[in-house]
């Protein structure tokens, strides 16, 4: 994402992508400093309870089907965490839950 002067940027996370059925897309988050100019970044993370089941919310009148199978946030986070600290060959991505 190219920087926009005086912009406020939100990194939409994986669970919002599932809830919105891809209306809002998560990206692989990487930070790269493009210049030596000052930059202010404030991180805030909000996660659902580990026992929450996350599934797409679709408009019943649209006829659109869910693109994702329902998933346990705790299971997803556990698999992602394991990939962060162990060489398991592939990090768990939200695309692993596509129908």
How many alpha carbons fall within 13 Å on the CB side of residue 90? 5
pLDDT category at 25 given cuts 50, 70, 90 is confident
Q: Does the pLDDT of residue 45 top 90, yes or no? A: no
Residue 88's pLDDT is: 64
pTM of the model: 0.73
Report how far residue 33's alpha carbon sits from residue 44's, in angstroms, rounded to the nearest whole number: 20
- Residue-wise pLDDT for 76-90, tens only, equals 988 888 877 777 667
Residue 52's pLDDT is: 93
Q: Does the pLDDT of residue 69 top 70, yes or no? A: yes
Q: Which alpha helices (H) appear in the chain, and where do they start and end?
A: 14-19, 73-85
Residue 50's pLDDT is: 93
Query: ∠ at Cα 71 (60, 26), nearest 5°?
Result: 80
Contacts (Cβ under 8 Å, ≥6 apart) of 22: 67
């Amino acid at each position: 994402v190219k920087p926009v002067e005086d912009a406020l940027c939100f990194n939409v996370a994986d669970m919002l992508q599932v809830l919105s059925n891809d209306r809002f897309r998560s990206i692989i988050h990487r930070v790269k400093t493009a210049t030596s100019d000052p930059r202010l970044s404030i991180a805030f993370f909000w996660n659902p309870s580990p026992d929450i089941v996350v599934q797409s919310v679709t408009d019943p009148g649209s006829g659109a089907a869910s693109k994702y199978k329902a998933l346990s946030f705790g299971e997803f986070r556990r698999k992602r965490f394991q990939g962060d600290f162990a060489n398991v060959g592939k990090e768990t991505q939200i695309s692993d839950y596509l129908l």
